[in-house]
Structure 1
Amino acid sequence: MYQTTPNAILLTSDGCIVPINLPETAQDRQTVMRSVIRCSTYDCVALTSNLDMWLDDEGLYRHPVNPLATTLARRFGFDWQDYHGPVLITG
């Protein structure tokens, strides 16, 4: 089942911010996450104890820099690298 209120935000490399409804079941959620991030494997950057940023594990090699994701990560102290490709923000 999908929630009616978006429970995630997609930040695209070209600056779009897209609300996303993730399914409640873990397997369906992973399928949707891989689809919107456009990857087969993903990684998580825990920006805070309540805010996670999910991204393509191989994004550096496959996607352009994502300025929004990089700025957001730097805001929370992750300033040693740029982040690439679409990222999904969950709480």
Structure 2
Amino acid sequence: MPNTRTITGFALLVRTDGQFRLLDWPANDDQHLKILYAACDCDHIDAVQITDHLTMWVDDEGMLNDSALNQGATLLYALHRPLHQPYFGHALFTGGADAEGNTLGLTELEATRLVEIYLTAGTIPAQRTTR
């Protein structure tokens, strides 16, 4: 059955070189995979659920294929949850999923807040090992 949602949202692309770009996230699910693969520039994509309303999409083989460390994506993850690994390759942030499992776009406010967090977050201090 075709998707009949009409609301279009946004996705935030965070590149490994620190650049970011706001993309349109169409309501039509038919375009989602195409957008994900093109934005992340990869052949295998993985969804990392950060919160119920925030998903990060990354190259599933980024650690293995010599993709560059994505400090911005790693930082955005760490600001929401305890960090368990660094992330490599370009990352695309979308909203969560609806009741049917369809990936939602970010609202304008969510996208704006994510950009603000990205631009204003400092370096995460390392644990002190000496006193």
TM-score by length of 1: 0.87
User: What is the CA-CA distance between 1:28 and the residue it aligns to?
Assistant: 1.3
For residue 73 of structure 1, what is the amino acid of its counterpart? Y
Alignment equivalent of 1:21, drawn from 18, 21, 24: 24
Of structures 1 and 2, the larger Rg is shown by 2
Kindly indicate whether residue 119 of structure 2 is the aligned counterpart of residue 77 of structure 1.
no
Cα distance in 2, alignment partners of residues 14 and 61 from structure 1: 19
Q: Which has the higher contact order (CA 8 A, sep 6+)?
A: 1
Kindly indicate whether residue 44 of structure 2 is the aligned counterpart of residue 41 of structure 1.
yes
Cα distance in 1, alignment partners of residues 62 and 34 from structure 2: 17
TM-score by length of 2: 0.62
CA RMSD, Structure 1 to Structure 2 (Å): 1.8
> How many residues are treated as equivalent by the alignment?
89
For residue 26 of structure 1, what is the amino acid of its counterpart? D
Cα distance in 1, alignment partners of residues 83 and 42 from structure 2: 24
- In the alignment, structure 1 segments of 5+ residues that lack a partner are none
Q: Which runs of 4+ in 1 moved over 6 A?
A: none
Cα distance per residue 1:5-62 (max 9 Å; x no partner): x610000001011001123322211111101101122111111110000001111123
- In the alignment, structure 2 segments of 5+ residues that lack a partner are 1-5, 96-131
